[in-house]
């Protein structure tokens, strides 16, 4: 059954091509829970077979991830922000909390967005507080793209090197997720130590 499912995914990704990767990664990056592993691992295997181009896969994956992230960002900024400013007091969201969110994303938005893209279950949601916090759109795009690109590269590489062995994929996916979480932890620890060494502003 697993073999048949993998064959179906391979046929679907191959049939839809790069446009399919773009659309599916847009869905995955928005609020709809759609695992990127289902798209990018088969795409990597198709690249190994010579049916697809690695650079084009990565381009479609990153652009799709950016589109989905911008949908969430724009929704939070244009709909969620005005709603909370007007009705937030009824949900215990005071203006002071929104100001704190703004300040947090002004100072730590880059690292939060980058690491959030590497955490399963969080990567779809991190765009929402970024929008609520009015994170600069250029910074948001840059670190979303870098984080999405890194995660996509890992999955595509997994498919490229072992995509023909379903059992190895099942065995290695938890290791990939664990490695990503360990990388996030190390990145955050390094960032915390770097922040502590920065001079305290007297303004």
Asked if the model's pLDDT at residue 54 lies above 90, the reply is yes
Asked if the model's pLDDT at residue 25 lies above 70, the reply is yes
d(CA 23, CA 26): 5
**CA-CA-CA-CA dihedral for 150, 22, 58, 18, to nearest 10:** 160
Q: What is the mean pLDDT of residues 3-28?
A: 73
| 26-40, 48-62, 161-175: least confident range | 161-175
Asked if the model's pLDDT at residue 114 lies above 60, the reply is yes
Instruction: Give me 43's structure tokens.
Output: 């795409």
Q: What is the mean pLDDT of residues 21-34?
A: 82
Quickly tell me which residue has 């502590």 as its tokens.
196
Instruction: Give me 108's structure tokens.
Output: 């730590």
pLDDT at 134: 85
Give the model confidence (pLDDT) of 130-160 as tens digits. Answer: 888 888 899 999 999 999 998 899 889 888 8
Cβ atoms of 163 and 149 within 8 Å: the answer is: no
Measured from the Cβ of residue 177, the count of other Cβ atoms closer than 10 Å reads 15
Kindly report the pTM of this predicted structure: 0.77
Instruction: Give me 118's structure tokens.
Output: 């590497």
pLDDT at 165: 64
pLDDT at 23: 85
């Amino acid at each position: 059954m697993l073999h048949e499912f993998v064959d179906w995914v391979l046929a679907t990704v191959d049939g839809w091509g790069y446009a399919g990767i773009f659309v599916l990664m847009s869905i995955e990056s928005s609020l709809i829970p759609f695992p990127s592993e289902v798209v990018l691992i088969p795409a990597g295997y198709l690249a190994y077979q010579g049916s697809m181009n690695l650079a084009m896969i990565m381009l479609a994956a990153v652009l799709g991830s950016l589109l989905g992230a911008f949908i969430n960002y724009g929704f939070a900024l244009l709909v969620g922000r005005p709603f909370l400013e007007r009705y937030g007091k009824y949900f215990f969201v005071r203006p002071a909390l929104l100001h704190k969110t703004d300040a947090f994303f002004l100072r730590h938005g880059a690292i939060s967005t980058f690491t959030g893209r590497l955490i399963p279950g969080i990567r779809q949601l991190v765009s929402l507080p970024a929008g609520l916090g009015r994170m600069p759109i250029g910074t948001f795009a840059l670190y979303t793209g870098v984080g999405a690109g890194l995660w996509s590269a890992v999955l595509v590489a997994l498919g490229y090197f072992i995509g023909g062995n379903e059992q190895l994929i099942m065995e290695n996916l938890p290791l990939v997720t664990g490695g990503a979480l360990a990388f996030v932890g190390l990145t955050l620890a390094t960032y915390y130590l770097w922040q502590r060494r920065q001079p305290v502003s007297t303004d």
